Amino acid sequence: MTERVQDLDEAELLTRIFAVLGSASAASTLLGPGDDSAIVAAADGRFTISTDLLVEGHHFRRDWSSGYDIGWRAAMQNMADAAAMGARPTALTVGLVLPADTEVAFVQELARGFVDAGGPWALDVVGGDLVAGPCLMVAVTVTGDLGAAPAVLRSGARPGDVLALAGRCGWSAAGLAVLGSGRLDETVTRTHPQVRAVIEAFRRPVAAIAEGVAARPHAHAMMDVSDGLVRDAARIAAASGVSIELREPEIALARDAELLGAVAEFLGDPGLVRAWLLGGGEDHAMLAAFPADAVPAGFAPVGAVKARAGQAPAVTVAGAEPHVRGWDHFRR
Amino acid sequence: MTERVQDLDEAELLTRIFAVLGSASAASTLLGPGDDSAIVAAADGRFTISTDLLVEGHHFRRDWSSGYDIGWRAAMQNMADAAAMGARPTALTVGLVLPADTEVAFVQELARGFVDAGGPWALDVVGGDLVAGPCLMVAVTVTGDLGAAPAVLRSGARPGDVLALAGRCGWSAAGLAVLGSGRLDETVTRTHPQVRAVIEAFRRPVAAIAEGVAARPHAHAMMDVSDGLVRDAARIAAASGVSIELREPEIALARDAELLGAVAEFLGDPGLVRAWLLGGGEDHAMLAAFPADAVPAGFAPVGAVKARAGQAPAVTVAGAEPHVRGWDHFRR
């Protein structure tokens, strides 16, 4: 018989989850789960903190993502919010709302996704909460360590800076488009490695966390791209009081464009490539402004920061005003 | 026309919420909301962290609690998890899942509840997330400052200690019982001040946060009572490897018992008093073990810590094994 969360009490369910999480062992964990609060080290006397929510039917579908994928993505996108400040992620807390008929194995897989996504950062899930509810929801909070250096804000971009991107661009959006197309069958992922790559990028994004942390000494401004290149560049422009001229994305991001081109061809619409590059979010690339002579390895120049002039648009693409919209959670 | 969250985009909704929250101004807030992460001070090189979830239909009903009440309770129960370590709450993050037809005024009231509950602690809501979803859910994370002192864990109770309680006991459970009884009408809260008091205690609990912070230098063990005196005393007993002998609660907590007696009389069942005192949670009283000569003002002795002997029960009440069960979220 399939074991479901309604078959266990809370203590038993926690035991199953901790069997996956293992004991808290990260150097930054001073006290792990089990008391009223956890205790986390903050050697330089402060810490970064950020919270994300993922809701079934809005951020993920269980027929498109496994428990492992959902845990992985929740951890990854939250850690990206620490890295986007230049901070090394130090701890996670996780709140799970679980329908009573959720399989215990699914919850354990979700925990395993958290463990694996956080693995390279040697951080623990130091606390959380489990409650019953009408649909699956994941609430994640991440803390980060700035290593005694100033944080990298969105507001520091200066005219003359190079805007550059580290990580993937458009992959997750392309993967979502393939899943939504209904054109996926068992053979496609064997015959089309690019299609397989973008589906995996949607399910288990690999945020540019190491690049964000490494950029801290050099970047004037940074954020992670969660709502698309144009929309997030506009946020840096607004926060910094500058304009941003994006280069033609199919040239600036030629390697992404090549891979996305194969996926667009599979879907029969070459115009998708540009839309994915400019509007696709959730790859959690790092978008940062650097002095022109200090763009670190791993960052590809995608544009230039200019002084804001009168009625000029905040963001242009190859000299023209772009026509893409990002995601909005509420507006219908 | 009533304005609903689906009528606004995310930026506009945030503007309405920040109109209530005000600008981040707490001394512990080094960077408030608006960037990828917030930054919070942690002067002694570490911080406490805890996360709670509240889900509509499970933790609250909108016909029994206003938006203000829900925000207040979410903040209060989370801050109690910091105080239960002996930590002063320093920052909150809030994730809100909102059905699209939620009234904007309701969300603003919820924010106002957060502000007022956190008011005495001069802390900010430093970050969060807003997403659409099928039911109202609130995810709260609190961080705390231990002021360079050791944290007070659940595991430090020693034989010979006095177990003592600060704050209310049974009030919230009594308030819930009145709301569930269907016997409330407009006149009752005028004619029965005790009934009004317990309903307010359910809607807007006042956790013993100051008492928890002040107990830090003296307490050997501490937790906040969220699942009832017996169940939470058993947690201290288990973590500390001791037994706990609770006194007769109607004597040890005579003032609570008197107030609850009037409510039980209103409901026509005097036996409820003992059940509320032993099993009622969510008042977020502080339950702590102290050396016998160091019980601070504000704490009432409720029991004694004894060495764990063989097959003896972890918790007794007036010498007998108690028959109360706490709340479990999953088991049906």
- pLDDT for residue B332: 45
Under the banding of pLDDT at 50, 70 and 90, the label for residue B312 is confident
Minimum distance, in Å, between the CA of residue A189 and any CA atom of chain B:
32
Q: Does A3 touch chain B (CB under 8 A)?
A: no
Under the banding of pLDDT at 50, 70 and 90, the label for residue B92 is very high
From chain B, the residues in CB contact with A129 under 8 A are 51-53
- B154-317 is a CATH 3.40.50.300 domain: no
Quick check: A146 and B39 CB within 8 A? yes
Q: Point out the residue among A45, A57, A153 whose CB comes nearest to the CB of B35.
A: A153
Q: Which two tokens stand for residue B26?
A: 């707490």
- What is this model's ipTM? 0.95
- pLDDT for residue A328: 53
Minimum distance, in Å, between the CA of residue B153 and any CA atom of chain A:
7
Quick check: B133 and A137 CB within 8 A? yes
Quick check: A49 and B40 CB within 8 A? yes
Lowest mean pLDDT: which of A173-182, A308-317, B195-204?
A308-317
Q: How many CB atoms lie within 10 A of CB B312?
A: 13
Q: Does B81 touch chain A (CB under 8 A)?
A: yes
- pLDDT for residue B326: 52
**Residue B270 identity (one-letter amino acid):** P
- pLDDT for residue B328: 53
- pLDDT for residue B58: 86
Quick check: B328 and A59 CB within 8 A? no
- pLDDT for residue A179: 94
**A100: pLDDT strictly greater than 50:** yes
Rounded to an integer, what distance in angstroms lies between the CA atom of residue A10 and that of residue A8?
6
A294: buried, middle or exposed (CB in 10 Å: 19+, 13-18, 0-12)?
middle
What is the separation, in whole angstroms, between the first and last Cα of chain B? 42
Give, as one character, the DSSP assignment of residue B167: S
Crossing angle for the helix pair A104-118 and A67-83, nearest 10 degrees? 30
Residue with tokens 């600036």: A252
Q: How many CB atoms lie within 10 A of CB A295?
A: 21
Q: What rounded mean pLDDT belongs to chain A?
A: 94
Quick check: A134 and B57 CB within 8 A? yes
Residue of B nearest to A128 (CA): B51
Question: Could you report the per-residue pLDDT of B209-239, keeping only the tens digit for each?
Answer: 999 999 999 999 999 999 999 999 999 999 9
Q: How many CB atoms lie within 10 A of CB B101?
A: 10
Q: Which two tokens stand for residue A214?
A: 């490494």
Domains of chain B: which residue ranges? Answer: 5-145, 154-317
Rounded to an integer, what distance in angstroms lies between the CA atom of residue B320 and that of residue B312?
11
- pLDDT for residue B228: 95
**B85: pLDDT strictly greater than 60:** yes
**Helix, strand, or coil (residue A305):** strand
Percent of chain B with pLDDT over 90: 87
- pLDDT for residue A238: 95
Rounded to an integer, what distance in angstroms lies between the CA atom of residue A316 and that of residue A108?
45
Within B192-253, residue ranges assigned H as helices are 193-203, 209-215, 229-240, 249-252
- A5-145 is a CATH 3.20.20.70 domain: no
Any idea of the CA torsion for A104, A105, A106, A110, to the nearest 10 degrees? 100
Element holding B144 (H helix, E strand): strand B137-145
Q: Point out the residue among B45, B98, B126 whose CB comes nearest to the CB of A41.
A: B45
